[in-house]
Copies of this chain bind each other. A is one copy, B any other.
Amino acid sequence: MTPQPRTSALAAASAVLQRDLVLALRRPSQLLQPLAFFVVVTLLFPLGYTPELAKLRSIAPGVLWVGALLASVLALDSLFRDDAADGTLEQFVLAGQPLAALLFAKTAAHWLLTGLPLALMAPVTGIALGVPIEAMPGILCALCIGTVTLSLIGAIGAGLTLGVRRGGVLSSLLTLPLSVPVLVFGARATELAITGGSPSGALYLLAALMVLGLTLAPLAAAAAVRIGLE
């Protein structure tokens, strides 16, 4: 029984990431739901509000960001649930690897599967809301950065509500208030991009939030998951 060569945390995390991507692609419905939700939400507003593009443009930042926020909350509900139910999460804890790294990989997969498609979807919904083409790079950038932070915050919420019934509502209750800064800065950057201003100030703030999230959220999520598994 020779001591085992352990892989680095990085390799382990990349295995987890790959596994989650493979799994998601086997179940395309999980991919589509947040996206479909996002589209329905963003298109709902023109319906109830006004068909005038000029007016729609003014609500576009809010609509895009609230849509992104809600879609990501919706998808996060299931971030750890399946793995907890079938015992995979337990095996992660016992893998002899830093749990935070493995959970970070799961969160990254989640972002690739919801946050990124959502951001890529924004130009389409943006056009429907009368957003000028020139604003798209800024908006895309803001959504990409912002949704990373949203996923990270959501991972904490999902971890905390692991053992809780009707955890979906509770985890959204926990994460949405914490996501307010992302919403504010994101909407601000989007608004500036639409009105022709420079969104870089708001983008920096968004990026700062992301960095903070990247450093702290995996640790908090790991602590939460350990507690939730007991």
Contacts and interface: CB of A to CB of B under 8 A. Distances in A.
Given A37-B69, A44-B187, 10 more contacts: A23-B165, A27-B164, A29-B167, A30-B168, A33-B172, A40-B177, A40-B179, A43-B180, A44-B180, A74-B168
A34 interface: yes
Interface stretch (A3-11, A57-65, A216-224): A57-65
Interface in A1-54: 23-24, 27-30, 32-34, 36-37, 40-41, 43-45, 47-50
Q: How large is the interface on A (under 10, 10 to 19, 20 to 34, 35 or more residues)?
A: 35 or more
Contact of A44 (B30, B44, B65): B65
From DSSP, what is the main secondary structure of chain A's interface residues?
helix
A44 to B, nearest CB: 5
B183 A48 contact: yes
Nearest to A191: B48
Given A48-B187, A48-B188, A62-B48, A37 B165 contact: no
A93 interface: no
Contact of A61 (B23, B48, B61, B75): B48
Contacts of A44: 62, 65-66, 69-70, 176, 180, 183, 187
